[in-house]
Every structure is written in C-alpha cells, then in structure tokens.
Amino acid sequence: MTDRRNFLKSSSLLIGGLWLSPNIAAARARIAPSDQVRVALIGCRNMGFGILKHHLALPDVRCIALCDVDQNVLEEKLGEIEAATGTRPEGFQDFRKVLERQDIDAVIIGTPDHWHCLIAVAACQAGKDVYVEKPMANSIGECDLIQQAGKRFDRVIQVGQQQRSGQAFIESRDLVKSGHLGKIRKVNIWSNFNYGLGNEKVPNSAVPKGVDYGFWLGPAPQRDFNSNRFHGSWRHFWDYGGGLMSDWGVHLLDMAIWVEENPSAPSRVLTYARNVNTENRDRDTFDTMNVLFSKKDFLINYDMNGGLQTGPYEKPYGIAYVGEKGTLVVNRGGYEIYPEWDGTANAPKCEAKKLEGTKESHNLHVANFVDCIKTRKQTVCPPEAGRIAALHAHIPNIAARVGAEELLWDDAKREFVGNKAANALIWPDYREPWVLPKL
C-alpha cells in the first residue's frame, strides 16, 4: 500500500490537469517512440474525452485515433487534440477500423454502456489493452465476457471506478481494514441527484445531421430517434444503461465491497423501487430505490433518490462505515470520523480524524492504467472488481424490473435461484447483425 500511495502522489504532481502545458509537450518530445503508449478513444463526448485528456497529461502517451458515430463530435474533438498537441489523430466512425491499426497499444471506451462489451472484447482479441468506463457492461453476462476476454488474451484492463485511486477512499479503506472503527456492522450509502429524474418528455425527431444513428443503436433495439435517448440522457433507458443505480451506484457500492475481507458478488438482495415523480418524465429507470445486500462481513444499505439534492451529514452522496467504535463518512471531498462515546471511560471509543479538500482521482486512475500497460501488473480496478461492482447495481435493477422484492444469486452457476423472469435479463438480446462475442 505504501509503494502505491507514493506512486499516486508523484503522479498527481506530474499530471494534475496539465494536458495543455508546454512542459508536457517538451517532456513528450524527449521520449523515444519505443517508450510511448499509443492510445485511441472510442466514444468522444464528455467522460470519454475527459479520460483521454488525463492520458495526454502523461508525457509518454500519444493519441493515435478518435472514433465517434457523431461526425460533429468527432470533428470538434479532433480539432481540440490538434490544437493541444500539434498532431491531429485519425478520425473514424467505425470502431472496428480503429482496432485494425497495429500501432495502437490501448483503447479508451467512453461509449454508452450497451457498447462496452462488444468493443472491449474485440479490443482484447485485437491485442489492445482497455480502459473501459463504468459500469463495466450493461448486463451481468456481458461483464463475464469482458473478464474472460481479458484473461484469455492476457490484456491489461482498467474499469473506470476511479474512487479506488482517490486519497480519501484509500485512507478510509485503510482505517476500516485496520480496525480503527472496530467491527463494522453495516455500510450506509446514499446518492441524491436531480438528474436521476430523467428529462421532460419531447417528441421524436429527425436524426441530427452527421450522426450514424443505426451504428449508435448498435446491438440495442431499433427505435425512432428521440433526443432524450441520445447524448447525455441515454442512461435512463434499459436499452443503453441502468439509471442512477448503475451510474453513481457502481462507484459507491464499490467502496463498500472494497473493504470486505474477501470481496464477493451479492447472494441475497432485497429491493424497493418506485418511480415517485412521473410528471412528464421520460425514463425507464427508477428515481427511488432502497436496496439491502446481506453480505458475510456486514450489511450494505443503499438509498437512492433521483430529484433530491440533500442527504445525511449534509452531503448529497456519501458512504458511512458504521463501526462499533465510530462511524467514518466519506465522499470525494474527504472524510470524517465520528467516534462513539464510552460512558465508562468517559472518552471517545476511537480517535476522531478528518480529511478535507480532496479532489477527483481520474488522473491517478489513468496513471495507474498506463503504468500497468508498461509493467503488465494488475490494475487498481481489474475486471473482477468491475464485475462484482456491476452485479451490485444490475441485480437490484433486475429485481425492480421483474417486480421481485428479493432475489437470490448463485454466483458459481451465474444464475438467479428460482426466478425465470430475472434469469431472462442476465443476457441482452442483440439486434442483428450484431451478435454476442463468443470466447
């Protein structure tokens, strides 16, 4: 843990948002081609492009290609990269053309969730390492395929659950694992965000000029174009994502799983889900969910509220590790320990600690990925960790969709116990001509 923390600290000094810095360009010019890591981005809006920028803040990384089915986005991002680095990557609308290039070492997958599996598996087959955004895939079965592909083709895979690289979460995990809070009874998690309501309904419209909408849909069902199902808000529909549960839920649940003695898939899940706000809202997913995961080490309680912005400890989102000696509350801004009081000793049962002002950790997560490409070591968030976290989001979503308050999951058999409707949602039905990868 000490070596890793030192690496993260040194990396943060090097790449703290300096992707446009002349110092980076000068350092890049001194690195031999044989020591360079050549990357391509597939899915260029928002998070995908942000992750690419963190890659380019490292002097030993080059961007070789960009790929997006929206020609408008593609041209914009090609121009930004050229302005920042002096070199214009090659642009593509078909990810398969990207993977044919032999000069690409790794791909970043920033597409909607329903594309993650097809692209990640194909990238592994093509000999590329993979940085894939969370959740690792849009279904339980597809998560397995990505994990199998990484192992079979000996690829480095980093899942974009970047909190594993964040100082506040690393220190919190260390404190919990060290016994500072005593025995952990439960982990309370909450996420309250306005965007969880989805957008207001709008009519279908023509496909925007420059967009290959059929390719954007890919393996998802054919539907008329609607802006609510496209850029920025696609995650509110089961065809492409899992709503607030698979967006923020994966991040936060991963931090509860991370402190388990032996992190594992959930075996028994109790779910309450409703759409409380239905007024003119366009979504498949739920705005209100409470989920209980009965784990071997402790209980995980997840509370989700789309359309709300306040929560416990005056935080819209967070994690509370509840121990017998105290409770540690953490989010991306830092953590604080609230000790229990020992009336007999007239003293707190543990030392109060506080960390404030911590920042996002995407840059450190990217630095870990690039380091692992070179060393061939396991990443901070390897496929198995991504799979387990995704299961904690997908199982409650499946329960809500089939109206099951309780689901039992047999991880060895990769199936639900006694629920045919739930088992039917383990794998997606791909639209022709796309087919599930076979390994």
Rounded-to-integer distance, Cα 344 and Cα 135, Å: 47
Position 19 scores a pLDDT of 53
Model confidence at 29, in pLDDT bands (50, 70, 90)? confident
What are 309-358's pLDDT values in tens digits?
Answer: 999 999 999 999 999 999 999 999 999 999 999 999 999 999 999 999 99
What are 218-273's pLDDT values in tens digits?
Answer: 999 999 999 999 998 999 999 999 999 999 999 999 999 999 999 999 999 999 99
End-to-end Cα separation, the chain, in angstroms? 35
Model confidence at 18, in pLDDT bands (50, 70, 90)? very low
Position 15 scores a pLDDT of 38
Rounded mean pLDDT of 395-401? 98
Fold of the domain built from segment(s) 167-358+386-423: Dihydrodipicolinate Reductase; domain 2 (3.30.360)
- 376: pLDDT strictly greater than 70: yes
44, 90, 86: which is closest to 65 by C-alpha? 90
Rg (CA), the chain: 22
Cα atoms in the 13 Å half-sphere on the side-chain side of 221: 8
Fold of the domain built from segment(s) 2-164+373-382: Rossmann fold (3.40.50)
Under 8 Å between Cβ of 218 and 234: no
Position 20 scores a pLDDT of 59
- 114: pLDDT strictly greater than 60: yes
Handedness of CA 373, 378, 383, 389 (dihedral sign): negative
**Cα distances (angstroms) measured from residue 357 to each of 326, 331, 362:** 22, 11, 16
Rounded-to-integer distance, Cα 300 and Cα 115, Å: 30
| Residue owning tokens 């803040």 | 57
Rounded-to-integer distance, Cα 411 and Cα 33, Å: 44
User: What average pLDDT does the structure give for the chain?
Assistant: 94
Cα atoms in the 13 Å half-sphere on the side-chain side of 115: 23
172, 168, 170: which is closest to 180 by C-alpha? 172
pTM: 0.94
Residue-range domain boundaries for the chain: 2-164+373-382, 167-358+386-423
